[in-house]
Amino acid sequence: MSNSTQWLAIIFLWASSATFAAGQDFDELTALANGALLGQHVEEAVPGFEIQLMREGEVLYHHAFGDWSLDRVAEANSSTKNVTGAVMMSIAQSGEGNFSLDSRLSDFLPSFDQPSYRDITIRQAFSHSSGLGALDFTGILENDSITLQQAAEQISQKPLVNGPPGSQFSYGGLSMQAAGAAAEVATGQSFVDLLAERITGPLEMENTRFVIASASNPRIAGGLESTASDFSRFMDMVMNDGVDRATGTRLLSESSVAEMLTRQTSELQPVNYSPAGNNRYGIGVWLDQLDQAGPAVDVLAGGAKGFHSWIDKEHDLVFTFATDQTSFANVELLSSMMHESILTDLYAAGDYDLDGDVDGADFFVWQLSNSLTGANLPADGNADGTVDAADYLVWRNNYGTGPLISALQVPEPASILLLFLAAASCNRRRCPQRC
C-alpha cells in the first residue's frame, strides 16, 4: 500500500471511528406524523399510532400520536411472519429432528406425502412459493377449535393451484401454517412454546403473543399482537446479526440471519399474488421495499392493519410504526417519506461518508466519486444523478456542520487537500516504482 493510500485510509478510519451524537429533534418526522392524523400523505386519516426509531440499539425517537398511547398493544398481522421466520431459522440452525430449510413438509407431516405435495420444502413454504393457494377461504387459519397438526392436514387437502412447488410466488399463510406444524413435529414442542423459548422470552417481549387463533392453532403467518418497543427490539436483533444488544445473547447465528435476509425468489418467477406488487422476499421477510420517496429499506415487516417495521442496515436504523387502526397500503408512502426525513435529519448535506459530520473525509468521498452517474451515489449532494462540481459546492457550503466538529480541531478543507497532495507528491518522489 502506498503512503498516500495509507494516509487516505487513516482519514477514513478517523471519520468512521467517531461516535455519532444523538439528540436530533426530528421535526419533519413529527410533522409527517401529525399530518397523517389530518389525512396528509395518506388516503384516509390515521386515528392513532406510535413511532419508535432506534439507531444501533439506542432509542432516538419514541412518540404516540392521536388516539394511541406509548407501548399500546396492536395486532401485528403479517408482521408476524418476520418473527415466526426467525423461529424457523432457530430450529434449522439447531438441526433438531433433521429440520432444515430444505426439509420437506412430508418429512414431518404424513398427509403431505402424496403426489405434487411431497416435495414442498420449508424454504418454499416460508417464501410463498409452495404452490398452495394464496388465501384461506375456509377458515383454517382462524379456527380456534383445531390443532396446528389438524390445520396442516386440512391444508394438504387443498388444491395446489399455484404449483408445481417453487414455480410461482403467491403470498399467503397456508404454507406457513403447515411449516409451523412441521416444526412442532421436529422439535416435539408446541409452536407457542417454541416462540417463547427461542424469541420472545430471551428478548423480553412481554407484550408479544399469539392472539389469533388459539394456543393450539396459532396463526403462524399473522396471529401476533405486539408493541413498538417489543418489535423494535426483535428487529434490532436481526439487524445486529442475531445478537440482542441489551443482554449480549445470541439468538440466531450470523449465517442464519444472512439466509433469512437472502432473497429466496427471482425476477423470473411469476407473481400470482403479492400485496407489494413484487416478489422480493426472504424467509418470512420483505426485502428492498418502500422506495417511493427515498432509498429502499433493507427489511420490511408489514401488517394488514398498518403495523409495520423496517430495517435500514446501511444506517443502522430500526423503525416501527405501531397501529391497527388503518391499513398498510394507506401508510406505505408515508413510511417511505418518514424514512427519507429521518436520513435528512440525521445526516447533514455534504455528509458523504454518513458519519454525522461534514468534514475532510467527505471531500475524499466526493473526489473518489467525481464524474460518476447513477442512482443513490454517496456524494450526489444535490440528487441529480451525477457527482460533479455542484456536489463539491454542497460539501463546501456545509463544511463544519455536525455534532462532532465543535469538539474537534479539524483542518480547513484546503489544508486537508494540500496535505493529501503533499503526501501523494512525496510518495511519488520517494517511491516512483510503486506509483
pLDDT per position as a tens digit, 21-64: 344 689 999 999 999 999 999 999 999 999 999 999 999 999 99
Give a yes or no: residue 33 inside a domain: no
In tens, the pLDDT along 325-347 reads: 999 999 999 999 999 999 988 88
Classify residue 43: in a domain, yes or no: no
Pair 180, 273 in one domain = yes
CATH for 265: 3.40.710.10
Identify whether residues 175 and 310 lie together within a single domain: yes
Last residue of a domain, one of 295, 323, 343: 343
Q: Where are the alpha helices (DSSP H) in 126-261?
A: 148-155, 174-187, 191-195, 228-239, 254-260
Q: Is residue 45 part of a domain?
A: no
Say if residue 104 is in the same domain as residue 239.
yes
98 and 177 share one domain: yes
Average pLDDT, the chain: 87
Give a yes or no: residue 121 inside a domain.
yes
Higher pLDDT, 312 or 428: 312
Question: Would you say residue 405 lies in a domain?
Answer: yes
Q: How many CB atoms lie within 10 A of CB 45?
A: 15
Cell of 422: 503533499
**Do residues 190 and 119 make contact, with C-beta atoms less than 8 angstroms apart?**
no
Average pLDDT over residues 372-400: 76
Across the range 357-373, mean pLDDT stands at 83
**Would you say residue 62 lies in a domain?**
no
One domain, residues 283 and 154: yes
Same domain as 402, residue 328: no
What is the DSSP secondary-structure string of 246-291?
TT--B-S-HHHHHHHTS--S-TTS-EEE-TTSS--B-SS-EEEE--
Q: Which of 55-59, 308-312, 313-317, 366-370 has the lowest mean pLDDT?
A: 366-370
Domain boundary at 320, 343, 366, which? 343
Domain co-membership, 100 together with 159: yes
Q: What are the angstrom distances between the C-alpha of 226 and each of 141, 207, 330?
A: 19, 6, 20
Instruction: Provide the residue type at 401 as one letter.
Output: T
Q: Are residues 325 and 421 in the same domain?
A: no
What domain count does the chain have?
2
Whether residue 293 sits in one domain with residue 241: yes
Segment 220-257, tens digit of pLDDT: 999 999 999 999 999 999 999 999 999 999 999 999 99
User: Is 122 within a domain?
Assistant: yes
Q: Which of 85-89, 160-164, 362-366 has the lowest mean pLDDT?
A: 362-366
State pLDDT tens for residues 254-263: 999 999 999 9
pLDDT bracket for residue 372 (50, 70, 90): confident
Give the domain CATH number at 404.
1.10.1330.10
* pLDDT tens figures, 150-165: 999 999 998 899 989 9
Q: Give the residue-averaged pLDDT of 84-96.
A: 98
% of the chain beyond a pLDDT of 70: 84
The reply to whether 312 falls in a domain is yes
Give me the pLDDT at residue 80, please: 98
Alpha-carbon gap, residue 360 to 300, rounded angstroms: 35
Are residues 230 and 361 part of one domain? Answer: no
Distance CA 46, CA 396 (A): 41
Binning pLDDT at 50, 70 and 90, where does residue 386 land? confident
The domain boundary residue, chosen from 325, 343, 361: 343
Q: Is the same domain home to 407 and 258? A: no
Domain limits for position 428? 3-18+349-434
